[in-house]
Amino acid sequence: MAAPLQCLSQRLVNWARIKSPWITLFNSGACNACDIEIIACLMPRFDIERFGILAKGSPRHADILIVTGHVTLKQASRLRRVWEQIPEPRYVIAMGACGASAGAFHGLYHVMERVEDVIPVDVYAAGCPPRPDEIINAVVTCLNLLKEDQVHGGKEWRQRRVREIMEPMERKAGI
Ligand code: SF4
């Protein structure tokens, strides 16, 4: 009896998550343009709250972490700590060229190559900086991933699937 009840409660929580995802932001060394675009999302012109998306200060209350900027060596451990504080299932959006490859800061002595070197990234928002509609699209993509993961019983199935696709290709390439 306990399992179906737990399952039902989990389904209810996930339903609430999909209807109203809470996001939190982490500036890991951005030039601030990405942050300004996120602020634009929160303002009346784009008004993401009309979709139920709320910005929260505490990672403990968040479902989605948005990381802006390249990751400096100083910020790497702090970013990891913030990510660890977000309850599962947590999703991460890396903003812009900096999130994917450190962008204009690539190769500098004090930066990591990409956000993925510190925490797992689920969605990349393209641009430098990404436009507000790109940010909204990234959040919607996270919600679609959450729905998909729910059906498969968790996030692990996606990692398994990537391995299943990559391993034959790597064998073929002799890696
Ligand atoms: S992606 Fe572009 S706009 Fe965003 S932090 Fe990096 S340099 Fe700035």
Domain ranges of the chain: 18-173
Write the pLDDT tens digit of every residue in 137-150.
Answer: 999 999 998 888 88
- CA-nearest residue for atom 8, ligand 1, is 31
Instruction: Please tell me the predicted confidence (pLDDT) of residue 155.
Output: 78
Percentage of the chain exceeding pLDDT 90: 44
Q: Is the domain covering 18-173 a CATH 3.40.50.12280 domain?
A: yes
> Which sign, positive or negative, has the C-alpha torsion 159, 114, 40, 55?
positive
pLDDT at 171 > cutoff 80: no
Using CB distances shorter than 6 Å, the residues near ligand 1 are 30-31, 33-34, 68-69, 95-98, 103-104, 128-129
Q: Which of 128, 131, 134, 135 to mutate to test the pocket of ligand 1 (most atoms within 8 A of CB)?
A: 128
DSSP sequence for 112-148: -S-GGGTS--SEEE-SSSPPHHHHHHHHHHHHHHHHH
Instruction: Please tell me the predicted confidence (pLDDT) of residue 2.
Output: 44
- CA-nearest residue for atom 2, ligand 1, is 128
